[in-house]
Structure formats: structure tokens, C-alpha cells
């Protein structure tokens, strides 16, 4: 790196579901050209609902992309002041007494613990658990996964001495300590969101002790005491602190500019989420929504859906829909909810707000005259209805005037779908113009935590604004009522989430 420039830079490591990426960013959140590395990987799935990574392969991928990026830093003008990372969350893996992984990395998408989550709801008061941890007793979170593994493979479970996320494991390899940020810990379902300590009641139910988990730390508590092998391997980073990894949703919010209560992130990828960043943590949580920590001072409040662009992809394959341009025009010409269909889009189960992970999709009202384009329209409206229900829970925490910031490549590339969503919610939706928002957000958070550039000083930009159309919103209010009625009829009269 050049010694003639002291411009601060942050190197980011983004561990996602489809790959590991490294980028370099300046204080404005602009990616520095010439420093970029990526290695693809895939989640291994099994017919019984398994969704795991191989721990060694993922670790090697993370270190390989850092190797590549470090070599590229030779030609950069500036100073790397931190290495910051994010991972998909929650995830969990078991280490033996030698700190060697002996289990796969179990991801949030692994549903094999569904029955164990139901059992935990009988042992732990779901409402009290939700208030303490900000999470739901559900197969996607760590408590159910640990109970499942102890039940199905007690011998393997018994050999595990420490449970960590992939970010903690990397920290252990590089610094000798499995440091866990409040952010990642809160996504696990094991952290008390008020005390910022491991939740005693949950650990007792799992027969765990805090020393079997990572070392809790604030998100800004970095370390630069690299172990000798890594100090030599990445000497250019030897004076740069490595921050504990955070949940990928934190980066996504910040990177798209959603750092204040008046800007709400609306992310539609394969799955989706709606999140708002708040100071502190709410005293009481809306039913069916979660709260995860950004750091000691800030949190995310919101909900997640398991059905986003995967619904479109499935219908595209199944119905053999026309090309995108033709499809977009045809969708735009249809009146709202005029197809006579009511759809529950749960092709991949349900999360917020009802958390019925055994839910399946339903298309009600099909007739001989129903056209494929109408089925698609009804399904896209139904995805928007799920976000509308999350939005209803969030409203009490939002200012009366607020904007939804849309991101997700497949979503924002369909202006008609974004407009449908604005019409359903009755709120303006702006399409984010940020690429690689998650990595960008992690860099901006690092600058903020290190006191270099406050988040509020970074300008917000967007590509296009979609205003809700009142006449269509009125139609969608009635359609949402029909959607909710069908949900209650088919899924046990409503939500399994805590009711207040």
C-alpha cells in the first residue's frame, strides 16, 4: 500500500449463502477499484430439510479470498484501518476440545428441528422467550437446532465442547478467541436482548453453560493481536483491527441507507425481510416480529419471509411464462386483484408474522378461464401482503411519514412488482441504487464504530420512487382481508407467534 496517502479504508469479508466476497471501501461507501475477490459455494441440502455448509471448505474459502485481496492491496493508495465482516445468520457449528469443527455449519434454512421447536414451546413460555431474546422458538434458530442434534445424534453432540458461528470460528483461528458480537449472538436466539448476556433460562433448557459458547463483545470491540501465522500471512493488515462479524441484515440495512426510523429496508431476494434501525431496543415487541442487535446502542426491528423471488422463479418454470419484457408489460396492464384468486405464497414455509414453518402454498379460486399471468399477479400480490402484515406490526415504531427502500436484484428489476408493493402498503417505495449493499454497509458501520465517519453523514441516494395509488390501495385493503381470512382458515386460526 502507498505510504503517501493516509485515506482510511475498510476491507470487508461478506460470507453469504452463495459465496464469499472481499471488497475495499472508502469513507463514502464507494468500492475501491482493483481490490475484489470472490469464491462461490453452495449450501448442501438433503431431502429431510437439511441445509448445511462444510466447515473446512467455507473456512478455506474465506481465507483464500483474503489472500487474493491482500495481494491486490499493494497498488492501493490509502490505509486499511479495519477488517470488517458479516455472515448469513443464524448459523452454528460444534468444535471439539482441540477447537476442530466436528459438525457441519447448520444454517437458518435447515428445517429438521421443526418438531424440537414445538417441544421447546412447551418448556419455555413463548411470549416470555420472545420478549427476552427478540426471537421466536422456531427451527431456524439455534435453540431448536441444538435440541434436534442432541436428540438425533447424542454421541456427536456429547463430543462438542464449544458452539460457535462461522464468524466466531474465524476469529478463533486468527486471534485464539471465539469472539461473538452482540449482533450475531442476538440472531442465534440465545442472547438476552436487554442484558446483552447469554439468556439463562434458554441455556438451562438446553443444558448449556456460557463457557460452551463464544465470548460476547460489542460490535466495535476489534482485535489486532493476530496469531503469528496470520500476522505473517497478512502482514499488511497487522495494524488493522478485525471487528467481530455481524449479521448480514445489518450490512444490508446500512448499505441501502436505512439507518434512521424514517427509512425502512424492504429486501426481496430468494427470501425477504423488512427491517428498521432503532436506537436502543423496544421495551415490548410486536407479535411475530424479531429484534436483533446492531451493537450495544442500536437494534434492528422487523420480520422475515421465506418466499420472495423464489415464488416468481417457481411460477416461471411451472407455467412457462413469457420473456421478462413481455411479462412486465402484461402485468402492468392488469387491474388490481381482479383475478378472483386468493394465494398463500408459502412454497418455502412461513416465517413472520405467523412462523408456521410447516405451512404450504395455496392457490384458491382457480377456474378454467384463469390465465397464467393472473396466477403470477396474484402470487406477487400475496408476497406483498406478507410484507403488509409485517409493516402493520412495525408502524408503532415508525414516524407517520416514512419511506420503504427496496433492494434485491430480481425485485427492483421489476418496476411493476415494486409498484404493486407500494399500492398494497399504501406507502412510497424507493428503489435502492446501491450495488453490494451488504458489504458496503459493513464498511460504513466500521467507519462509524471507529469514530471516522458517522452513519448519519453518509448521503442517502435512490434510483426511482414509486408512489402508492389510492384507488388501488383501497382494492388491496379488501384483498388483504381475504388473504388473512384464508390464512386463518387453513393455518389453525392464526399465528403461532406470541400474542400481547
Q: What tens digit of pLDDT does each residue of 183-219 get?
A: 999 999 999 999 999 999 999 999 999 999 999 999 9
The stretches of 353-412 forming alpha helices (DSSP H) are: 372-394, 409-412
Summary count for the chain: helices (H), strands (E)? 17, 23
Distance CA 426, CA 473 (A): 6
Distance CA 50, CA 56 (A): 18
Q: Tell me, what's the pLDDT at 6?
A: 66
The closest alpha carbon to 438, from 140, 29, 80, belongs to: 29
Is a pLDDT exceeding 50 seen at residue 418?
yes
Is a pLDDT exceeding 60 seen at residue 500?
no
Is a pLDDT exceeding 80 seen at residue 135?
yes
Beta-carbon contacts of 427 under 8 Å, excluding residues fewer than 6 positions away, are 391, 402, 403, 404, 468
Q: What is the mean pLDDT of residues 299-313?
A: 97
CB 20 within 8 A of CB 65: yes
CB 130 within 8 A of CB 92: no
The closest alpha carbon to 79, from 37, 35, 34, 26, belongs to: 26
Beta-carbon contacts of 110 under 8 Å, excluding residues fewer than 6 positions away, are 49, 50, 51, 52, 139, 140, 145
Assign 188 to helix, strand or coil. Answer: helix
CB 108 within 8 A of CB 92: no
What rounded mean pLDDT belongs to the chain?
A: 95
Beta bridge partners of 21: 14, 38
The domain 8-248 having CATH identifier 3.30.420.40: the answer here is yes
Q: Tell me, what's the pLDDT at 291?
A: 99
Q: What is the mean pLDDT of residues 448-465?
A: 92
- Would you place residue 354 in the very low, low, confident or very high pLDDT band (cuts 50, 70, 90)? very high
C-alpha cell at 125: 413460555
Q: 236-249 pLDDT, tens per residue?
A: 999 999 999 999 99
- Would you place residue 494 in the very low, low, confident or very high pLDDT band (cuts 50, 70, 90)? very low
Is a pLDDT exceeding 50 seen at residue 95?
yes
Distance CA 90, CA 247 (A): 8
Q: What is the mean pLDDT of residues 426-455?
A: 95
Distance CA 85, CA 457 (A): 22
CB 412 within 8 A of CB 431: yes
CB 464 within 8 A of CB 438: no
Question: Beta 215-217 vs 179-181: how paired, if at all?
Answer: parallel
The closest alpha carbon to 130, from 281, 288, 324, belongs to: 288
Distance CA 75, CA 64 (A): 19
Q: Tell me, what's the pLDDT at 493?
A: 47
CB 383 within 8 A of CB 268: yes
Element (H, E) at 343: strand 342-344
Q: Within the chain, which residue ranges are assigned CATH 3.30.420.40?
A: 8-248, 258-433+469-500
Q: Tell me, what's the pLDDT at 357?
A: 72
- Would you place residue 231 in the very low, low, confident or very high pLDDT band (cuts 50, 70, 90)? very high
Element (H, E) at 128: helix 126-133
- Would you place residue 462 in the very low, low, confident or very high pLDDT band (cuts 50, 70, 90)? confident
Topology (CATH level 3) of domain 258-433+469-500 = Nucleotidyltransferase; domain 5 (3.30.420)
Amino acid at each position: 500500500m502507498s505510504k503517501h496517502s493516509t485515506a482510511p479504508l475498510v476491507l470487508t469479508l461478506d460470507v453469504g449463502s452463495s459465496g464469499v466476497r472481499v471488497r475495499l471501501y472508502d469513507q463514502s461507501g464507494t468500492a475501491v477499484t482493483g481490490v475484489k475477490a470472490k469464491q462461490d459455494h453452495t449450501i448442501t441440502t438433503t431431502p429431510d430439510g437439511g441445509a448445511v455448509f462444510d466447515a473446512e471448505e467455507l473456512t478455506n474459502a474465506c481465507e483464500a479470498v483474503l489472500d487474493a485481496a491482500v495481494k491486490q492491496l499493494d497498488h492501493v493508495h490509502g490505509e486499511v484501518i479495519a477488517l470488517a465482516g458479516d455472515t448469513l445468520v443464524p448459523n452454528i457449528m460444534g468444535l471439539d476440545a482441540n477447537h476442530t469443527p466436528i459438525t457441519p455449519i447448520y444454517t437458518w434454512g435447515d428445517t429438521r428441528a421443526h418438531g424440537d421447536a414445538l417441544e421447546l414451546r412447551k418448556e419455555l413460555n413463548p411470549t416470555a422467550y420472545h420478549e427476552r431474546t427478540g426471537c421466536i422458538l422456531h427451527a431456524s434458530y439455534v435453540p431448536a437446532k441444538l435440541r434436534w442434534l442432541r436428540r438425533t445424534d447424542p454421541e456427536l453432540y456429547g463430543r462438542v465442547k464449544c458452539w460457535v458461528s462461522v464468524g466466531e470460528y474465524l476469529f478463533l483461528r486468527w486471534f485464539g478467541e471465539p469472539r461473538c458480537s452482540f449482533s450475531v449472538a442476538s440472531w442465534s436466539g440465545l442472547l438476552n436482548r436487554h442484558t446483552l448476556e447469554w439468556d439463562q433460562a434458554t441455556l438451562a433448557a438446553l443444558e448449556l453453560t456460557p463457557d460452551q459458547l463464544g465470548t460476547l463483545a460489542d460490535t466495535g470491540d476489534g482485535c489486532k493481536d493476530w496469531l503469528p501465522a496470520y500476522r505473517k500471512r497478512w502482514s499488511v493488515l497487522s495494524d488493522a483491527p478485525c471487528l467481530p462479524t455481524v449479521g448480514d441484515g445489518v450490512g444490508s440495512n446500512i448499505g441501502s441507507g436505512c439507518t434512521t426510523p424514517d427509512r425502512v429496508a424492504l429486501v426481496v431476494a430468494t427470501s425477504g425481510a423488512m427491517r428498521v434501525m432503532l436506537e436502543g431496543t423496544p421495551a415490548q415487541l410486536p407479535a411475530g416480529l424479531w429484534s436483533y442487535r446492531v451493537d450495544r446502542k442500536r437494534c434492528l426491528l422487523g420480520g422475515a419471509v421465506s418466499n420472495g423471488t423464489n415464488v416468481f422463479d417457481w411460477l416461471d418454470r411451472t407455467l412457462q411464462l413469457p420473456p421478462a419484457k413481455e411479462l412486465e408489460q402484461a402485468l402492468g396492464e392488469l387491474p388490481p386483484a381482479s383475478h378472483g384468486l386468493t394465494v398463500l405464497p408459502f412454497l418455502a414455509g412461513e416465517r413472520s408474522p405467523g412462523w408456521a414453518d410447516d405451512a404450504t402454498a395455496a392457490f384458491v379460486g382457480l377456474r378454467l378461464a384463469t390465465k397464467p399471468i393472473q396466477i403470477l399477479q396474484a402470487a406477487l400480490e400475496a408476497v406483498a401482503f406478507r410484507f403488509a402484515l409485517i409493516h402493520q406490526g412495525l408502524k408503532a415504531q415508525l414516524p407517520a411519514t416514512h419511506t420503504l427502500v427496496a433492494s434485491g436484484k430480481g425485485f427492483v428489476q421489476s418496476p411493476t412488482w415494486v409498484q404493486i408493493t407500494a399500492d398494497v402498503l399504501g406507502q412510497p417505495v424507493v428503489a435502492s441504487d446501491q450495488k453490494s449493499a451488504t458489504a458496503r454497509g459493513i464498511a460504513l458501520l466500521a467507519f462509524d464504530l471507529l469514530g471516522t465517519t458517522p452513519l448519519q453523514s453518509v448521503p442517502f441516494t435512490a434510483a426511482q420512487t414509486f408512489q402508492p395509488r389510492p384507488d388501488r390501495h383501497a382494492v388491496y385493503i379488501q384483498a388483504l382481508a381475504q388473504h388473512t381470512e384464508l390464512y386463518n382458515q387453513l393455518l389453525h386460526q392464526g399465528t403461532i407467534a406470541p400474542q400481547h
